């Protein structure tokens, strides 16, 4: 069990240490607890950062929150957007009604509120969260990882089976684990500030000017609002230091062409660039990475936080399974295999969007007009919408068949389906996944498949019903994160299901106890 850390502790023990108490680390802690393992969160900040750089929870993240019964908390008093611009093209935005989902919207939740709600969830789930505790060293061996921690009462050590770095783009865990972080350097300079203005009737605007991009959102009567300025061709210097109110005023004047008086009170000021980097490996032995520790990019389209939260849900059940002994090393390796390509694609589309916003009347402006026309075609709009919201993700790892031979539902997200034909009425699959247990959905009364799954009853729930799935399937084996591990047609046998169960969820209970890793 875990003990309270102080300078006299020789070593503490827990299942998983999560380094970083932002939204991604907190989500992961909740997922680990749902999987039945201990989780200790170490966050170097004494208090939450309180900033709202991210403020959009896209459809796939909304669906993930629904899987765990958290969505109502996040939607309370929250506005939703039925579409968003792509690369700042507002005249023909993305239409989320074209998506296959029960939640065709983006929830506009400030990051500070997301962090508060996920901290409450992690705490209620039984995770321990320590603030003001900074990890300064890591040493791993065949049985576990020892972390050196600098706490408010002095240094101490904690020993865990695994450590996960959710500690941001400058991740100490990534550095200490020796994981490379290649990518491209920043070529633009951007400032963001939550500040005040005495000026009235400042138009809410997203403006592409000859000198950059300007985003303003202030109340008509003046007061506190947000200003974002992006300047192309000005890579941020490493030693620029903290952003000042004077820096923000000067940047707004340069890009706007005229000054806008920005004043105290200042809630938050920050700078960022368009450096795009991705960890070479999301796993090094018993050390793993998630969120910004694994990938950073220009924050357009609100995809960074969403990608990180989905990392956490993908990793949580697999790591818990490995700790509990029924998850294999190969299962844990699928975390990198599945999530690395997703973030790689996010890095690609954010760089493309930033290029499409460049203030270049001769070349970029005609291209924007062309993209605007294409977005008016439903299939094109759906393609871009699925990419931005994460609803195009299909995992192709760890299947017995090649991707071309596997059932089309294999690797797809099934959490948005609704199961009918049950005595209590229609039931969303998301509700059935609330306990974070795998599901075998028997959609065709296949008694042979239900019997085949019986030896996995300690890990897999079997539910019968009907669902409108195209192409048709007689059974879906659904992972705790809502993705389909195995899909069966009329031609598939009980032996094929057993192989899928063993591959994803370990040997049947009849084969004995599962050894701890």
Distance CA 487, CA 407 (A): 6
pLDDT for position 4: 41
Mean pLDDT by 10 residues, the chain (517 residues): 41 89 98 98 91 89 98 97 95 96 96 96 98 97 96 96 97 98 94 94 92 94 94 76 92 95 91 94 98 96 95 98 97 98 97 95 95 97 98 86 81 97 94 97 97 97 95 97 96 95 93 53
pLDDT for position 511: 59
Distance CA 476, CA 468 (A): 12
Would you list the DSSP string of 5-66? --TT-S-EEEEEEEE--SHHHHHHHHHHHHTT--EEEEES-SS-----S---B-HHHHHHHH
Whether the link from the prior residue into 471 is cis, omega within 30° of 0, is yes
Question: What are 319-357's pLDDT values in tens digits?
Answer: 999 999 999 999 999 999 999 999 999 999 999 999 999
Cβ neighbours of residue 409 closer than 8 Å, sequence gap 6 or more: 469, 471, 473, 476, 484, 487
What is this structure's pTM?
0.95
Would you list the DSSP string of 283-315? EETTEEE-GGGTEE----TTHHHHHHHHHHHHH
pLDDT for position 8: 40
Question: What are 173-199's pLDDT values in tens digits?
Answer: 999 999 999 999 999 999 999 999 999
Q: Judge contact between 118 and 26, C-beta under 8 A.
A: yes
pLDDT for position 403: 61
The CB density around residue 446, as the number of other CB atoms within 10 Å, is 19
SS3 of 377, please? coil
What tokens were used for 452?
């085949």
Residue 427 bridge partners (DSSP): 419
Distance CA 385, CA 119 (A): 30
Enclosing H/E stretch for 350: helix 329-357
């Amino acid at each position: 069990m875990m003990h309270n850390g102080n300078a006299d502790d020789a070593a503490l023990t827990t299942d998983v240490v999560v380094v970083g108490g932002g939204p991604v680390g907190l989500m992961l802690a909740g997922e680990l607890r749902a999987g039945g393992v201990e989780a200790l969160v170490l966050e170097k900040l004494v208090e939450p950062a309180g900033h709202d750089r991210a403020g959009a929870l896209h459809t796939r993240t909304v669906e993930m929150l629904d899987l765990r019964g958290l969505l109502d908390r996040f939607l309370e008093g929250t506005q939703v957007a039925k579409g968003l611009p792509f690369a700042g093209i507002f005249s023909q935005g993305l239409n989320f009604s074209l998506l296959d989902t029960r939640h065709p919207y983006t929830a506009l939740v400030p990051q500070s509120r997301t962090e508060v709600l996920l901290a409450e969830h992690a705490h209620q789930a039984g995770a321990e969260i320590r603030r003001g505790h900074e990890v300064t060293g890591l040493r791993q061996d065949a049985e576990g990882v020892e972390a050196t921690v600098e706490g408010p009462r002095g240094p101490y050590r904690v020993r865990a089976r695994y450590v996960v770095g959710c500690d941001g783009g400058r991740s100490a865990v990534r550095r200490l684990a020796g994981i490379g972080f290649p990518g491209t350097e920043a070529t633009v300079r951007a400032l963001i500030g939550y500040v005040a203005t005495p000026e009235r009737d400042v138009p809410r605007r997203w403006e592409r000017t000859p000198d950059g991009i300007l985003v303003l959102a202030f109340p008509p009567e003046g007061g506190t609002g947000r200003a974002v300025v992006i300047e192309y061709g000005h890579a941020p210097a490493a030693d620029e230091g903290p952003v000042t109110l004077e820096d923000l005023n000067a940047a707004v004047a340069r890009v706007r062409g005229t000054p806008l008086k920005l004043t105290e009170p200042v809630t938050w000021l920050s700078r960022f660039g368009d450096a795009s980097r991705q960890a070479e490996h999301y796993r090094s032995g018993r050390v793993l990475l998630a969120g910004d520790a694994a990938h950073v990019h220009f924050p357009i389209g609100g995809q960074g936080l969403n990608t990180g939260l989905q990392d956490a849900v993908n990793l949580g059940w697999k790591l818990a399974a490995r700790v509990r002994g029924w998850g294999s090393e190969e299962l844990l390796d699928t975390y990198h295999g599945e999530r690395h390509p997703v973030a790689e694609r996010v890095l690609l589309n954010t760089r493309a969007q930033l290029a499409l916003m460049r203030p270049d009347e001769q070349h970029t402006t005609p291209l924007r007009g062309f993209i605007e026309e294409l977005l008016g075609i439903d299939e094109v709009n759906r393609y871009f919408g699925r990419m931005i919201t994460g609803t195009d993700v299909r995992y192709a790892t760890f299947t017995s068949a090649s991707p071309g031979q596997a059932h089309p539902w294999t690797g797809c997200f099934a959490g948005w389906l609704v199961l009918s034909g049950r005595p209590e009425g229609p039931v969303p699959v998301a509700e059935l996944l609330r306990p974070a247990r795998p599901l075998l959905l028997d959609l065709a009364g296949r008694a042979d498949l239900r019997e085949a799954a019986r030896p996995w009853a300690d890990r897999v729930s079997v539910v019968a019903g009907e669902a409108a799935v195209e192409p048709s399937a007689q059974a879906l084996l659904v992972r705790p994160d809502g993705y389909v591990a195995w899909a069966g047609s009329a031609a598939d046998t009980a032996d094929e299901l057993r192989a899928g169960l063993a591959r994803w969820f370990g040997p049947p209970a009849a084969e004995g106890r599962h050894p701890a890793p």
